């Protein structure tokens, strides 16, 4: 209805204009040199209108001709964009279908049509990855990492490649760079923690983990690796305060106290931890300054302190008494340890050593037979994977579980150094 009204209005206007022009009186004269052109005013008005229309048409024609190259160029760009978008789609389909050759061909076509955009570089990287061409994939990720608008994508890809290649030190640096490029990525925090465990960067693990993590172990290991004495002392003290039952934390803290000339304070730390978790590591560290075997016996008594009833304390004192030549005393200690429930290989081996010192061959043979049938000695063992380890680690070197290495009687299995 609106179109009809517009056409009707335009027709009425045209008729009215024509009627008005046709009824104009007078004439118009145009003098050019000796020539005079005279026409009715109505004809002159029509000629003027036609002239204006002709000028308008010519102007539009010239403008169109001037813009024609740009139009062709834009048309070509639109066509190239459409073909490039199609190549991107085909690359994605090939990647999804795990068709390496098609993926690389379509990724190359998309790059040729669209240029090295973040999208085409990412597709090239993934196409190279499923093709097994790590060099091509890494080169594309490097180009992404060098661009401000896609640095995170490139660093993430390089991080995955470094992990796949087992280059965990480089992966840890790439993870830090990626977090700087895109702060707040939650998965990166977990990735950095795992890489810190893999590379033994305990200070970073301590900094990145939450309070429910085994921070005492991380702190103890970080203190042992720290070159600055003041920082090492602070880390070790905090680690031991977090978990006084952790022997490595006690040793780390006691070492700093001993280095500072505070031997009595170091012994107090070791005694408190011995009462909670007596281990040979603690004993060896406590006895290290003793100049002779008798001094080691006295140092052992000082370490045991109020924990003398503990079977581990009795076994330690029995070994130290034997070293000091006090065989009867060693007998009493080892018998007390056995009576307290220790039925392990190390008890019988100590009995065999005592019998050898006495010259009692029969008792030595009996003790060695007992050792062959006794239960296993306690050791550092991972609660997560069950591996028996050659020493304590903040994270299991076999399964990388953090805080799971405990001093306990091991199950039968492979010993990991």
Hey, how many other C-beta atoms are within 10 angstroms of the C-beta on 309?
A: 10
377 burial level (CB within 10 Å; 0-12, 13-18, 19+) = middle
pTM for the predicted model, two decimal places: 0.73
Q: Of residues 92 and 412, which shows the higher confidence score?
A: 92
> Is residue 123 situated within a structural domain?
no
What is d(CA 107, CA 91) in angstroms, rounded to the nearest whole number? Answer: 6
> Is residue 345 situated within a structural domain?
no
Report pLDDT for 307.
84
> Is residue 232 situated within a structural domain?
no
**371 Cβ contact list (under 8 Å, min separation 6):** 345, 348, 349, 352
Helix 263-276 to helix 280-287 angle, to the nearest 10 degrees?
160
Is there a contact between 378 and 345 (Cβ–Cβ < 8 Å)?
no
> In the chain, how many domains are there?
1
What is the radius of gyration, based on Cα positions, of the chain? 45
- Looking at the predicted structure, is the pLDDT value of residue 413 above 50? no
Please tell me what DSSP assigns to residue 395: B
> Is residue 298 situated within a structural domain?
no
> Is residue 313 situated within a structural domain?
no
β-strand 405-408 against 379-382: which pairing, if any?
antiparallel
**319 Cβ contact list (under 8 Å, min separation 6):** 330, 350
Report pLDDT for 18.
58
> Is residue 307 situated within a structural domain?
no
Average pLDDT of 100-116?
Answer: 91
> Is residue 404 situated within a structural domain?
yes
3-state secondary structure of 325: coil
What is d(CA 415, CA 417) in angstroms, rounded to the nearest whole number? Answer: 7
Report pLDDT for 406.
93
Average pLDDT of 101-124?
Answer: 91
Report pLDDT for 341.
85
Please, what's the b/e burial string for 180-202 (b: 16 or more CB within 10 A of its CB; e: otherwise)?
ebeeeeeebeebbbbbbbbbbbb
Report pLDDT for 182.
85
* Residue 408, strand partner residues: 379
Please, what's the b/e burial string for 30-49 (b: 16 or more CB within 10 A of its CB; e: otherwise)?
eeeeeeeeeeeebebbeeee
- Looking at the predicted structure, is the pLDDT value of residue 387 above 80? yes
Q: What residue numbers bound the domain in which 399 lies?
A: 378-417
**Two tokens, residue 332:** 């009493």
- Ramachandran class of 236: left when φ > 0, alpha when ψ lies in -120 to 50, beta otherwise: alpha
> Is residue 397 situated within a structural domain?
yes
Average confidence score pLDDT of the chain: 87
């Amino acid at each position: 209805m609106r179109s009809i009204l517009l056409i009707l209005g335009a027709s009425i206007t045209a008729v009215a204009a024509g009627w008005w022009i046709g009824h104009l009186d007078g004439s118009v004269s145009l003098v050019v040199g000796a020539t005079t052109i005279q026409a009715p005013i109505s004809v002159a008005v029509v000629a003027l209108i036609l002239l204006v229309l002709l000028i308008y048409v010519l102007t539009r024609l010239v403008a169109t001709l001037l813009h024609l190259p740009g139009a062709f160029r834009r048309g070509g760009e639109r066509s190239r964009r459409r073909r490039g978008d199609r190549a991107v789609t085909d690359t994605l389909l090939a990647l999804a279908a795990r068709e390496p050759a098609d993926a690389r061909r379509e990724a190359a076509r998309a790059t040729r049509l669209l240029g090295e955009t973040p999208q085409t570089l990412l597709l090239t990287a993934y196409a190279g990855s499923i093709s097994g061409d790590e060099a091509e994939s890494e080169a594309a990720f490097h180009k992404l990492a060098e661009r401000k608008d896609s640095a995170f994508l490139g660093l993430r890809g390089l991080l995955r490649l470094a992990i796949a290649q087992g280059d965990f030190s480089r992966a840890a640096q790439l993870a830090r760079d990626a977090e700087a490029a895109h702060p707040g990525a939650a998965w990166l925090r977990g990735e950095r923690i795992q890489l810190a465990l893999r590379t033994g960067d305990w200070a970073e693990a301590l900094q990145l983990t939450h309070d429910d993590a085994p921070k005492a172990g991380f702190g103890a290991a970080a203190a042992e690796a720290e070159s600055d004495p003041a920082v090492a002392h602070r880390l070790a003290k905090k680690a031991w305060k977090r978990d006084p039952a952790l022997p490595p934390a006690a040793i780390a803290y006691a070492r700093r106290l001993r280095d500072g000339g505070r031997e009595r304070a170091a012994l107090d730390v070791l005694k408190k931890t011995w009462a909670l978790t007596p281990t040979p590591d603690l004993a060896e560290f406590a006895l290290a300054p003793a100049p002779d075997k008798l001094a080691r016996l006295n140092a052992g008594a000082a370490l045991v302190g109020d924990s003398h009833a503990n079977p581990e304390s009795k076994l330690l004192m029995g070994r130290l008494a034997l070293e000091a030549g006090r065989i009867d005393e060693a007998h009493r200690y080892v018998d007390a340890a056995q009576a307290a429930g220790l039925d392990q290989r190390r008890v019988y081996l100590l009995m065999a050593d005592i019998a050898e010192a006495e010259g009692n061959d029969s008792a030595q043979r009996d003790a060695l037979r007992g050792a062959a049938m006794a239960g296993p000695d306690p050791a550092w063992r991972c609660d997560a994977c069950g591996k028996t380890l050659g020493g304590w680690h903040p994270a299991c070197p076999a399964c990388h579980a953090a805080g799971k290495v405990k001093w306990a009687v091991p199950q039968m299995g492979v010993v990991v150094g």
